[in-house]
Copies of this chain bind each other. A is one copy, B any other.
Amino acid sequence: MDADQFRQFGKAMIDYIADYQETIRDRKVLPSVEPGYLQHLLPDEAPQKGEPWQEILKDVDRIIMPGVTHWQSPNFHAYYPTACSYPSIVGDMLSGAIACVGFSWMAGPACTELEVAMMNWLGKLLHLPEEFLNCSEGPGGGVIQGSASEASLVALLAAKDKFVRSIREKDPTIPAAEIKGKLVAYSSDQSNSSVEKAGLIGSMMMRLLPSDEDGALRGTTLQEAVRKDREAGLIPCFFIASLGTTGTCAFDNLEEIGPICQEEGIWLHIDAAYAGTVFICPEYRYLMKGVEYSDSFNFNTHKWMLCNFDCSCMWVKDARYLMDAFNVDRIYLKHNKTSHLPDYRHWQIPLGRRFRALKLWFVLRSYGVEGIQEHVRKDIALAKYFESLVKQDERFEACTLSLGLATFRLKGDDSLTQKLLDKITADKTLYLIPCYYRERLVARFVIASRMTQKSDVDFAWSVICEHADQIVAPKIKKMESVIGDKYKFDAIKITTNTECLEKSK
């Protein structure tokens, strides 16, 4: 493919993408294919001769699209959002074209320095403690990881290395393997599965401590676990706090946990994968009170902050622990320049890395801080609005509401809610998934797409009620749904209405 063909193909793809996004509401969010559908549509072997791009684009429609789960559809309410925005896509295109591997400063000065700059911008936006910023005096700084899983693992490995070193500095006769075998990590039973996986991969005992009935881990629980482990001769080493758990978006009590970690010398890592974005809005910063106790902090701009996957932002107060843990320099990676700028390969698991800061830069400039704040506030208001709809129907129970996630269930046995979810999934118009809350099955309703509007929430609620009607007879008249693609959503109005509704109860 030469440059001229690329100009044609690339521009055709731009139009394809814009068309896809503009009409995504018209597609069922879940595909109708059965497992194995694709093998019958593709030849068994790669073609010998090259094919024209027009054929490939045609096959995207014929082969790929029927098998896509439309994560960007406003009817997608499962998991948490995975971001997709126009400026981010364009930023990634440029990253693909420059195609540098920025593992050291020399390998890509702009790649390293823009990342440093963006992590400073973002750290300031979130009001993270000064020590986390590369632009502060100390050894702290930020780095873009691929995922929160990676960030948790990197933090755990740094903590592990730190402990082994410091214990062996005091007594070099203790074998490293013996120390490693005694290190203990903690998190809550509500933390993401990737936390448990970090313990598995990093070979560290991981205790998933019971959260309270709101899904938050409390200080006393941690304190008790640490005490028991010390008595058993073990070494408490690492704690992963969840700000915004995966199930219900609960927040661990950092103000209780932080001082305990500090006193016990435990590395405190904060996983705010989804919720972290909200700290761009001052009115939600109370949710991260205690962040000053943490050693490392991570959130995914590729969830709620409009940057395409993968762009997981991590800060550490002392990056030297990362470098100690990961530095295995060889001659071919050395370069002449000496500088205070990070050689990011020592901050992460893989050697290679893309120019991911570009999309972050494009997004922050295109939206501006206010644009991102507006996006976040809109989603929170929509979730609140959804909860108000649930509360109007006596068959339902509104269970939790936190940021852009509301959970609810049909009153009665779990099997009713399960049946409801099965019906919704079979219908493919909406996508919702369950979790457990206070030992009961609840459905999660997440505002996941950048494009979700009030009319989409109304539509979702009408579909949910339609299915519920087949399980439990309607007890009250359903609210009239306002369905209309072009409905202009007014966040402030909704917030006020919802508050009124709540007060009137």
* A residues adjacent to B (C-beta < 8 A): 1-7, 9-11, 13-18, 20-22, 30-31, 33, 35-39, 42, 44-51, 53, 55-56, 60, 63-72, 79, 82-90, 92-94, 96-101, 105-111, 113-114, 116-117, 120-122, 124-125, 135, 146-150, 153, 157, 175, 177-178, 180-181, 192-194, 196-197, 200-203, 246-247, 302, 308-310, 325-326, 328-333, 336-337, 339-341, 349-352, 354, 358, 361-362, 364-371, 422, 425, 433-436, 444
Contact = CB atoms under 8 A, between A and B. Distances in A.
A209 B365 CA distance: 51
Contact of A46 (B50, B114, B121): B121
Q: How many copies does the complex hold?
A: 2
A153 B349 contact: yes
A292 B145 CA distance: 35
A36 B200 contact: no
Given A71-B99, A92-B93, 9 more contacts: A17-B94, A35-B113, A39-B113, A48-B369, A50-B367, A72-B99, A82-B100, A149-B351, A196-B328
A82 B99 contact: yes
B108 A97 contact: no
Q: Which of A10, A302, A361 has the most CB of B within 10 A?
A: A10
Q: Which label, helix, strand, loop or mixed, suits the secondary structure of the A interface?
A: helix
A101 B121 contact: no
A82 B97 contact: no
A375 to B, nearest CB: 11
A96 to B, nearest CB: 4
B100 A96 contact: no
Contacts of A203: 180, 202-203
A14 B5 CA distance: 11
A408 to B, nearest CB: 15
Contacts of A98: 20, 64, 68, 70-72
A17 B93 contact: yes
A169 B337 CA distance: 53
A192 B350 CA distance: 12
8 contacts: A6-B17, A36-B341, A44-B124, A56-B362, A70-B98, A71-B99, A71-B107, A147-B350
A193 to B, nearest CB: 5
B121 A45 contact: yes
Output the residue of A49, A69, A329, A369 with the most chain B CB within 10 A: A69
Contact of A113 (B20, B37, B425): B37
Contacts of A337: 35
The 9 closest A-B pairs by CB, nearest first: A67-B110, A35-B339, A84-B99, A177-B181, A10-B14, A38-B113, A6-B86, A50-B368, A147-B350
Given A3-B21, A64-B114, A106-B69, A434 B332 contact: yes
Contacts of A366: 1, 50-51, 53, 56
Contacts of A113: 35-39, 67
Given A49-B370, A69-B107, A79-B332, A117 B39 contact: yes
A6 B17 CA distance: 9
